[in-house]
């Protein structure tokens, strides 16, 4: 490897790794902000939160990697152009294509790595991420009874304490509303003080209440008129609350298996084939059902009392009495309504099946499009950086955001069109098809040293144009 190649790779890999880490961190902070209510106040162990953040970070890799390649390529070539190193390299007889070769090698390597990651690692990471997030969301907030607040996280109970001692166990002025017997009976327990502790397995919370009363107020029943309110005093009463649902428990390993986001290319292709066979069966089932409903069978001549005599409606409907014709028309109308109802039902089912199949196609194509995006955005970023000749963080960052947002927006629009069957699965490649000509144009402009995208050239052109206008105006005034 030549010294020039080492210089280019060193200049390229630094911004690449830094941008990749920043992009993953920003996306991870967005995830934390979105699910902050599910993470805070539940007494989750640090290992559980760390696993969730790790799995979530893995799911952001396919999106963070292309923008990292784009930013690093613009920044690297922009720095070379701004410091006139690119001009010196070209003066030495080295073409721009040769300068871009080491970075292109890295971009191709990252494209292959991105596809392997999306096909083999991402399904597992997505599965772990979904199951862990689901388990975290199911976990109830940890038991935290604060003074002067109503605590209602325990099913069937509302607890309020006036004060809590520094030991965290002793409670003062306790009120417990017991709704476990339904809305028709309310039990209220009032105690002067008490103690709170959980069992060693954290499945039960035990309250030991001292010096209190239990008030029972039925809303109906035989004793409602005789005993509308019952009061029972106690010196000590022990209440046990089931808090096993508060504990963090992992879902079954097969809970999310089979989801399209957790399948590789081979599994997605097999799943799509099975779903399309099911859809074809649904079409055939619809046809048979509608034909059966639309066919008017022979009806019995009930008005004659002969339950075994049948007639052909199309042939004999004109020869029957008004009562029989009315009955035939009513039966035909019901058959038609049933057929129309079946058509509407099957239409909704078929549309749902198509959307589910399209989601499989979208996930299948995304594994390729996001991988190719690494190489595609490099072919845009590197020539663009060599043309604008601006390094640092300003211009590369702005240009990277603009290009990537444009690529992402086009991809989202096409993805929605594919999901709604407005386009076929090839629609997932529209953003790629749009950016290929842009990359080719930028590469051609950069390799031919064209000044079309050179900001300095445009500035000089505007200054010359202003001077020409000023000179023309002055000559006209002088003649006047």
Residues 425 and 461 in one domain: yes
- Assess if residue 52 is contained within a domain: yes
- Assess if residue 472 is contained within a domain: no
- Assess if residue 253 is contained within a domain: no
Residues 23 and 130 in one domain: yes
H/E stretch holding 151: strand 150-151
H/E stretch holding 36: helix 36-39
User: What pLDDT is recorded for position 433?
Assistant: 92
Residues 382 and 357 in one domain: no
Residues 347 and 284 in one domain: yes
- Assess if residue 255 is contained within a domain: no
Residues 184 and 235 in one domain: yes
CA-closest candidate to residue 205, choices 213, 195, 197: 197
Per the document, the length of the chain is 480
Q: How many domains does the chain have?
A: 3
Please enumerate, as own/partner, the contacts of 53-56 that have beta carbons within 8 Å and a separation of 24 or more. Answer: 53/28, 55/125, 55/126, 55/128, 55/129, 55/132, 56/28, 56/31, 56/129, 56/133
User: What pLDDT is recorded for position 328?
Assistant: 64
- Assess if residue 479 is contained within a domain: no
Residues 387 and 456 in one domain: yes
Q: How far is CA 284 from the centre of its chain?
A: 34
Buried b / exposed e over 375-394, threshold 16 CB at 10 Å, is: bbbbbbbbbbbbbbbbbeee
Find the distance separating the first CA and the last CA of the chain, reported in whole Å. Answer: 71
Residues 221 and 269 in one domain: no
- Helix, strand or coil, per DSSP, at residue 390: coil
User: Based on the number of CB atoms within 10 Å of its own CB, is 226 exposed (0-12), middle (13-18) or buried (19 or more)?
Assistant: exposed
Q: Is 187 left (phi over 0), alpha (psi -120 to 50) or beta?
A: beta
What token pair was written down for 89?
């390299």
Residues 130 and 155 in one domain: no
Residues 127 and 25 in one domain: yes
- pLDDT, one tens digit for every residue, the chain (480 residues): 578 888 888 889 988 999 899 999 999 998 888 888 777 766 777 888 889 899 999 999 988 999 999 999 988 888 888 887 887 887 878 888 888 888 999 999 999 999 999 999 999 888 888 888 887 877 766 567 788 888 887 888 888 999 888 887 888 999 998 888 776 667 889 999 998 887 777 678 888 999 999 888 766 555 555 556 778 888 898 888 887 766 656 665 566 667 788 888 898 888 888 888 888 887 777 777 766 666 644 443 333 334 344 444 444 555 556 776 677 667 767 766 777 777 777 777 788 888 888 888 999 999 999 889 999 999 998 888 888 877 777 777 788 888 888 998 998 999 899 988 888 888 899 999 999 998 888 888 887 766 555 556 656 656 665 665 665 555 555 555
User: What pLDDT is recorded for position 303?
Assistant: 39
User: What pLDDT is recorded for position 313?
Assistant: 47
Instruction: Kindly report the number of other CB atoms within 10 A of residue 14's CB atom.
Output: 13
| Domain hosting residue 351, numbered range | 260-362
Query: How much helix, strand and coil, in percent to the nearest 5, is found in the chain?
Result: 65, 15, 20
User: What pLDDT is recorded for position 479?
Assistant: 52
Residues 301 and 380 in one domain: no
Last residue of a domain, one of 212, 246, 280: 246
- Assess if residue 478 is contained within a domain: no
Residues 316 and 371 in one domain: no
H/E stretch holding 322: helix 322-388
User: What pLDDT is recorded for position 248?
Assistant: 59
């Amino acid at each position: 490897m030549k010294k020039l190649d080492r210089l280019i790779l060193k200049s390229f890999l630094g911004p690449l790794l830094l941008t990749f880490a920043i992009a993953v961190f920003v996306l991870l902070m967005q995830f934390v902000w979105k699910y902050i209510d599910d993470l805070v106040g539940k007494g989750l162990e640090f290992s559980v939160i760390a696993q969730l953040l790790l799995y979530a970070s893995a799911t952001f890799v396919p999106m963070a990697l292309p923008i990292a390649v784009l930013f690093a390529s613009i920044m690297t070539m922009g720095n070379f152009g701004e410091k006139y190193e690119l001009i010196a390299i070209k003066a030495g007889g080295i073409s721009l294509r040769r300068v871009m070769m080491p970075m292109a090698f890295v971009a191709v390597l990252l494209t292959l790595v991105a596809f392997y990651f999306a096909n083999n690692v991402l399904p597992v990471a997505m599965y772990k991420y979904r199951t862990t997030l689901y388990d975290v969301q199911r976990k109830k907030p940890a038991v935290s009874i604060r003074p002067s607040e109503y605590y209602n996280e325990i099913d069937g109970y509302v607890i309020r304490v006036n004060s809590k001692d520094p030991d965290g166990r002793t409670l003062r002025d306790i009120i417990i509303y017991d709704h476990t017997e339904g809305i028709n009976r309310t039990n209220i327990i009032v105690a002067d003080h008490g103690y709170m502790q959980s069992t060693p397995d954290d499945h039960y919370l035990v309250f030991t209440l001292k010096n209190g009363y239990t008030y029972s107020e039925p809303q109906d029943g035989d004793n409602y008129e005789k005993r509308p309110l019952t009061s029972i005093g106690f010196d000590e009463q022990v209440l046990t609350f089931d808090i096993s649902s508060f504990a963090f428990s992992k879902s079954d390993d097969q809970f999310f298996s089979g989801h399209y986001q957790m399948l590789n290319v081979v599994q997605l292709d097999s799943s799509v084939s099975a779903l399309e066979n099911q859809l074809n069966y649904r079409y055939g089932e619809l046809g048979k059902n509608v034909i059966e409903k639309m066919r008017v069978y022979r009806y019995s001549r009930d008005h004659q009392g002969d339950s075994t005599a049948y007639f052909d409606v199309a042939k004999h409907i004109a020869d029957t009495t008004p009562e029989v014709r009315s009955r035939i028309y009513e039966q035909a109308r019901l058959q038609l309504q049933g057929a129309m109802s079946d058509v509407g039902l099957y239409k909704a089912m078929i549309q749902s099946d198509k959307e589910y199949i399209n989601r499989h196609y979208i996930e299948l194509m995304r594994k390729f499009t996001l991988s190719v995006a690494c190489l595609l955005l490099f072919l845009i970023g590197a020539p663009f950086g060599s043309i604008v000749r601006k390094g640092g963080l300003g211009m590369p960052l702005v240009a990277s955001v603009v290009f990537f947002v444009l690529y992402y927006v086009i991809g989202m629009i096409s993805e929605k069109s594919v999901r709604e069957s407005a386009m076929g699965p090839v629609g997932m490649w529209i953003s790629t098809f749009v950016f290929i000509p842009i990359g080719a144009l930028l590469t051609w402009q950069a390799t031919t040293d064209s000044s079309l995208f050179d900001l300095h050239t445009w500035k000089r052109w505007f200054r010359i144009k202003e001077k020409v206008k000023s000179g023309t105006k002055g000559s006209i005034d002088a003649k006047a």
